[in-house]
Structures are given as structure tokens and as C-alpha cells.
């Protein structure tokens, strides 16, 4: 087997998405033949090289892909390691020792749907904005957002010097001092909805992700999980505005066919 970039090799082996592998390298968690990977590019052959992630060897044979849908409770984090020792989403799934990762995170204060899988390709497809996979949130916030503020959310605002992709916003209810909004967006920057609404003067009190593409939280209580059905996985693989490319199509595009 020829050598390939370590991000691609570990993604195909079900370790994590390519972007997540890059972060692991930055954190010093990956070694190749006894040496910590300190920079990229790095090329490996999993059938020959000894590649360790957090001390565990990654084999050339990709594990069977697993797909779980979790309705995450508040206070649970979506990181592999948490210095504060908070409960993790991974701990709520009896994966039998398999390495899983979250296909799109939710912050600890938020609740709702998280997909946990060892399918690195699907994770990248669901999380990268270029594929346009929409996630739906129900948000309870202080105040009564004005129409011009909702328009700002729809058109996009600047966070950290970069414009957001915009969101679809609907007002579900308005009270004297609280409003409930439905927000649909295809990107997921860190605490994006909370930060945008806070900038407009509306502090978020509750945030729940109720859908990932066509997959909703119907019938799934907070703290519960279920295995995704095959037809649901197939729908997720093609739900975005830009279908996920197969390896064959990637090769054809590379060679101009």
C-alpha cells in the first residue's frame, strides 16, 4: 500500500475527520515510528508504519462504521478530553471500546442532537460549511428581536473578522421579555448563535439542536440515544447542497475528467 497523508489515512481508518487529525497533531497526540508528529505534511502507510494515537496503535484495516444519535443533556461536553472532568457525550454511548467522535459539537450549556460515529468522511461532510448541511435550533432569548435584527442574522454578521454564512430565522413566539426563535444554519462556529444574539442585545437562555439535516429529535428524550438506521445514514450522505464526492469522483476531478 502506498503512503498517504496522515490526515487521510487516519480518517479512512475511522480515527477522526481530517481537520480533527490536524488538531491532534498540534496537540502532540500522534506518533509515527516512535516520533511525535510535529509538522505537516506527514505521509504514512498504516500497514507498515507504527502510528499511535494517544498511545493506541491504528491498524490499516478500518473498523466497522458505527452511527449513534444522541440527545445531549445540558452539562455534557463533546470533547474527547475535558480538564474539568465533566461528563462527555462519548460516555453516554456504549460503543464497546470503539473510538467515536462527534460529527458537530454542541457547547456544554446547550442540549440536543449530536451524531457520534467513527466514519471520518461522513463527519467531515456534516460539519464542513461547503457541503451546506443545515442544522436546526430552537433558541429562547431575552427581549424581542426587531425585524432589522433578524435580517442581520439572515444576511450574516462578522465574528472574529470573518462574515458568517447567514441563517434562516423564524419567530416561534414573543413574550413580554423573552422570545423563542427557530434558527437554521449550515455552519457551526464556536457558540455562534449565542455570540450573534448577544451582539444584538439578546442573551440566549436556552438552546437546543432539534434537527441535523432530515434527522430530528422526535421520540428521543434528553439523555437518550439510538442507532441510526441505514436509510437515515444514506439520507445524511446526500442531504447537503453539495453532495459528498466519492473517491472515484475525486480522482476523476483531479485528472480533469
User: Catalytic amino acids?
Assistant: 107
Backbone Cα Rg of the chain: 20
Neighbours of 127 (CB within 10 A): 20
Q: Is the separation of the CB atoms in 113 and 217 below 8 Å? A: yes
* Phi and psi based region of residue 135 (left: phi greater than 0; alpha: psi -120 to 50; beta: remaining): beta
- CA angle (154, 157, 163) in 5-degree steps: 115
Cβ burial 171-193 (10 Å sphere, 16+ → b, else e):
eeeeeeeebbbbbebbbbeebbb
Amino acid at each position: 500500500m502506498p503512503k498517504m497523508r496522515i490526515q487521510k489515512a487516519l480518517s479512512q481508518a475511522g480515527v477522526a475527520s481530517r481537520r480533527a487529525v490536524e488538531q491532534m497533531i498540534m496537540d502532540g497526540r500522534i506518533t509515527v515510528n516512535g516520533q511525535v508528529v510535529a509538522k505537516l505534511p506527514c505521509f504514512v502507510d498504516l500497514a507498515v508504519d507504527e502510528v499511535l494515537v494517544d498511545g493506541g496503535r491504528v491498524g490499516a484495516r478500518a473498523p466497522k462504521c458505527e452511527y449513534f444519535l444522541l440527545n445531549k443533556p445540558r452539562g455534557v461536553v463533546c470533547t474527547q478530553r475535558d480538564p474539568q472532568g465533566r461528563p462527555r457525550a462519548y460516555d453516554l454511548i456504549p460503543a464497546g471500546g470503539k473510538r467515536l467522535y462527534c460529527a458537530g459539537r454542541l457547547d456544554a450549556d446547550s442540549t440536543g442532537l449530536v451524531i457520534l460515529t467513527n466514519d471520518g468522511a461522513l463527519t467531515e461532510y456534516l460539519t464542513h460549511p461547503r457541503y451546506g448541511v443545515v442544522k436546526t435550533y430552537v433558541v429562547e432569548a431575552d427581549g424581542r428581536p426587531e425585524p432589522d435584527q433578524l435580517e442581520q442574522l439572515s444576511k450574516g454578521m462578522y465574528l472574529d473578522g470573518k462574515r458568517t454564512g447567514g441563517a434562516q430565522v423564524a419567530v416561534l413566539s414573543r413574550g413580554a421579555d423573552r422570545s423563542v426563535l427557530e434558527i437554521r444554519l449550515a455552519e457551526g462556529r464556536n457558540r455562534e448563535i449565542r455570540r450573534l444574539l448577544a451582539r444584538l442585545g439578546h442573551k440566549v437562555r436556552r438552546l437546543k439542536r432539534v434537527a441535523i439535516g432530515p434527522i430530528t429529535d422526535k421520540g428521543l428524550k434528553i439523555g437518550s440515544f439510538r442507532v441510526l438506521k441505514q436509510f437515515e445514514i444514506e439520507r445524511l450522505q446526500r442531504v447537503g447542497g453539495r453532495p459528498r464526492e466519492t473517491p472515484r469522483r475525486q480522482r476523476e476531478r483531479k485528472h480533469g475528467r
